[in-house]
Amino acid sequence: MSTASTILWGLIAVPVFILTLPRLLAVLPQKIQFVAKCWVVLIATFIMSIVGCFVAIVFALLNRRHEINFVVARIFSFIAAWPCGVTFKIKGEEHLEKYPAIVVCNHQSSMDMMILGRVFPKYCVVMAKKELQYFPFLGIFMTLSNAIFIDRKNHKKAIESTTQAVTDMKKHNSGIWIFPEGTRSRLETADLLPFKKGAFHLAIQSQQPVMPIVAAGYTNIYDSANRSFPGGELEIRVLEPIPTKGMTADDVNELMERTRAVMLKNLKEMDHSTSSSSSSISSGSSTAVAEDAADEGLKQRRAAKE
């Protein structure tokens, strides 16, 4: 077979394989399917890291470094989520244009990379643990795309990094994506881990709003404990940004609690949408009570300050 014929067959076979891959993976036995799809995500991450390096170099030369993450995130979302049969239902996507902001999102598992890929805003950078800086290709890409690396073991360096992040944010009119839980929750119920204060210190220090993003629980789509990865539709809500104008360091706890309350409320609403109607009514009532209690607590603390 000539070189030309080989190239021609390759140009035909590769697109056909990519188009049929979701169906091929869908008919595999559960545990084999789980392993196969995890490999797809791993390969997609590797491809994203390499492609991301080239995209980062080109965009850096064009003086558009703050668009790197947006472009690469969308590429990753397509090459990882689509073959695995994962689709997205986005509500409030128009809020992604309200910039700059501190973007906070719940953190469930390593599969959150797909969520980040689908709703990552323009002109936004990631705040991540310093260890990721040393991952092959991924670390290079993140460095080129202005990622903020936090050394959790060195408080002084962590403060310096966040201070510089605020300066860059104001200079480039950009945002910062942070997982306020600090680690993957891996919870079986619709709940959130306690939030860390870093994101809210940044928001008040920069006087920029907090933009909450909430992804529904997805153990029905991906469940590492049961080695299940059937795919499906995942709902994501981009909520109305919470303003911080006029707030001071004394308001950090209030801002954090208010953000967590509204995120938890939406998380529970999305979880109960799959339950029976009676269960939904009961759960909705308890959620409203919890939110009212949180609001009342905030009012009491404000009154005490005054």
**What pLDDT sits at residue 169?**
76
Angle 110-116-117 from CA coordinates, rounded to 5°: 105
* Residue 14 resides in a domain: yes
* Residue 1 resides in a domain: no
**What pLDDT sits at residue 215?**
92
CB atoms within 10 A of CB 294: 18
What is the domain range of residue 211?
Answer: 9-305
220 three-state secondary structure: coil
Q: Which of 301, 303, 239 is nearest to 269 (CA)?
A: 239
Q: How many residues does the chain have?
A: 306
CB 175 within 8 A of CB 238: no
Residue 151 CA to residue 130 CA, distance in Å, equals 5
* Residue 3 resides in a domain: no
Domain harbouring 268, CATH code: 3.40.1130
* Residue 4 resides in a domain: no
Tell me how far CA of residue 15 lies from CA of 78, 83, 192, 291, in angstroms. 14, 12, 41, 50
| Blockwise average pLDDT, block size 10, the chain, 306 residues | 67 66 88 94 87 85 83 88 92 86 90 89 80 75 76 70 74 83 76 88 90 92 91 93 93 94 93 47 44 50 49
* Residue 120 resides in a domain: yes
Question: How many domains are there within the chain?
Answer: 1
* Residue 255 resides in a domain: yes
**What pLDDT sits at residue 263?**
93
**For 204, what's the count of Cα atoms within 13 Å in the CB-facing half-sphere?**
15
CB atoms within 10 A of CB 225: 8
Alpha carbon 136 to its chain centroid, in Å, reads: 21
**What pLDDT sits at residue 152?**
67
Strand 124-129 relative to strand 232-238: parallel, antiparallel, unpaired? unpaired
pTM of this prediction exceeds 0.75:
yes
Query: What are the residues facing 86 on neighbouring strands?
Result: 232
* Residue 17 resides in a domain: yes
**What pLDDT sits at residue 236?**
95
Residue 211 CA to residue 181 CA, distance in Å, equals 15
Q: What residues contact residue 227 under an 8 Å CB cut-off, 6+ apart?
A: 30, 31, 34, 35
**What pLDDT sits at residue 296?**
52
Residue 42 host element (H or E):
helix 30-61
**What pLDDT sits at residue 287?**
44
* Residue 225 resides in a domain: yes
Residue 80 CA to residue 117 CA, distance in Å, equals 9
